[in-house]
Structure 1
Amino acid sequence: MSYATQKLAEEKVFKDPVHRYIHVRDQVIWDVIGAKEFQRLRRIKQLGTTYLVFHGAEHSRFNHSLGVYEIVRRIVDDSFSGRPEWDDSERLVVLCAALLHDLGHGPFSHAFENVFGLDHEYFTQQIILGDTDVNKILKRVSEDFPQRVADVIGKTYPNKQVVSLISSQIDADRMDYLQRDAYFTGVSYGHFDMERILRVMRPREDQVVIKSSGMHAVEDYIMSRYQMYWQVYFHPVSRSAEVILTKVLHRAKALSKMGYDFKQQPTHFRGFFDGTYTLNEYLALDEGVLLTYFQLWMSEDDPILSDLSDRFVNRKLFQYIEFDLAKDYMKMKELELLFKKAGIDPEYYLVFDSSSDLPYDFYRPGEEGERIPIHLLKPNGEIRELSRESDIVEAISGKRRTDHKLYFPEDILTKDGKKKALKKQILDLLT
Structure 2
Amino acid sequence: MLYKDEQLHEEKVFKDPVHRYVHVQDRVIWDLIAAPEFQRLRRIKQLGTSYLTFHGAEHSRFNHSLGVYEIVRRIIGNFEDRDDWNDGERLLCLCAALLHDLGHGPFSHSFEKVFKLDHEHFTQQIILGDTHVHTILERVESGFSQKVADVIDKTYEDKLVVSLISSQIDADRMDYLQRDAYFTGVSYGHFDMERILRVMRPIEDQVVIKSSGMHAVEDYIMSRYQMYWQVYFHPVTRSAEVILSKILHRAKYLFESNYMFKLKPFHFVAFFNEDVGLADYLKLDESIVFYYFQLWQEEDDAILQDLCERFMNRRLFKYIEFNPNLQMNEWMDLYKLFQEAGINPDYYLEVDSSSDLPYDFYRPGEEDERLPINLLMPDGNLKELSRNSDIVESISGKKRTDHKLYFPADTLTELSDDSPVKQRIMELLDVNQYLKGDEESVD
TM-score w.r.t. length of structure 1: 0.99
**Counterpart of 1:71?**
71
**Counterpart of 1:382?**
381
Are the equivalent residues in 1 in contact too, given 2:160–2:204 (CA < 8 A)?
A: yes
**Counterpart of 1:172?**
171
Report the Cα distance in structure 2 between the residues aligned to 1:33 and 1:228, rounded to whole angstroms.
29
Query: Which amino acid is the alignment partner of residue 354 of structure 2?
Result: S
Query: Which amino acid is the alignment partner of residue 364 of structure 2?
Result: P
Gaps of 5+ in 1: none
Report the Cα distance in structure 2 between the residues aligned to 1:414 and 1:231, rounded to whole angstroms.
29
RMSD: 0.8
Cα displacement (A) at 1:422: 1.5
Question: How many residue pairs get matched?
Answer: 430
Instruction: Encode CA deviations 1:346-384: one digit per residue, 9 max, x unaligned.
Output: 100000000000000000000010001000000110100
Cα displacement (A) at 1:130: 0.3
Cα displacement (A) at 1:419: 7.1
Query: Which amino acid is the alignment partner of residue 67 of structure 1?
Result: G
Q: How does 1:254-403 map to 2 (within 5 A)?
A: 254-403=253-402
**Counterpart of 1:217?**
216
Report the Cα distance in structure 2 between the residues aligned to 1:275 and 1:186, rounded to whole angstroms.
38
Secondary structure of 2:10's aligned partner: strand
Instruction: Encode CA deviations 1:268-312: one digit per residue, 9 max, x unaligned.
Output: 011111112210110001101001100100011110000000000
Report the Cα distance in structure 1 between the residues aligned to 2:92 and 2:411, rounded to whole angstroms.
54
Are the equivalent residues in 2 in contact too, given 1:413–1:424 (CA < 8 A)?
A: no
Gaps of 5+ in 2: 431-443
Secondary structure of 1:168's aligned partner: coil
Cα displacement (A) at 1:421: 3.3
Cα displacement (A) at 1:205: 0.5
Report the Cα distance in structure 1 between the residues aligned to 2:98 and 2:74, rounded to whole angstroms.
13
TM-score w.r.t. length of structure 2: 0.96
Secondary structure of 1:364's aligned partner: coil
Closer, same or farther in 2 for the Cα pair 1:373/1:419, shift >3 Å? farther
Report the Cα distance in structure 1 between the residues aligned to 2:394 and 2:421, rounded to whole angstroms.
48
Report the Cα distance in structure 2 between the residues aligned to 1:149 and 1:316, rounded to whole angstroms.
43
Instruction: Encode CA deviations 1:110-134: one digit per residue, 9 max, x unaligned.
Output: 0000100111111001000000000
Report the Cα distance in structure 2 between the residues aligned to 1:223 and 1:256, rounded to whole angstroms.
45
Which runs of at least 4 in structure 1 moved beyond 3 Å after TM superposition?
Answer: 416-421
Report the Cα distance in structure 1 between the residues aligned to 2:168 and 2:325, rounded to whole angstroms.
31
Q: How does 1:78-227 map to 2 (within 5 A)?
A: 79-227=78-226
Report the Cα distance in structure 2 between the residues aligned to 1:223 and 1:114, rounded to whole angstroms.
28
Report the Cα distance in structure 1 between the residues aligned to 2:422 and 2:285, rounded to whole angstroms.
38
Secondary structure of 2:188's aligned partner: coil
Closer, same or farther in 2 for the Cα pair 1:344/1:416, shift >3 Å? closer
Query: Which amino acid is the alignment partner of residue 25 of structure 1?
Result: Q
Cα displacement (A) at 1:417: 4.1
**Counterpart of 1:31?**
31
**Counterpart of 1:60?**
60
Identity within the alignment, % = 71
Report the Cα distance in structure 2 between the residues aligned to 1:417 and 1:262, rounded to whole angstroms.
32
Secondary structure of 2:270's aligned partner: helix
Instruction: Encode CA deviations 1:407-426: one digit per residue, 9 max, x unaligned.
Output: 00000000154874312211
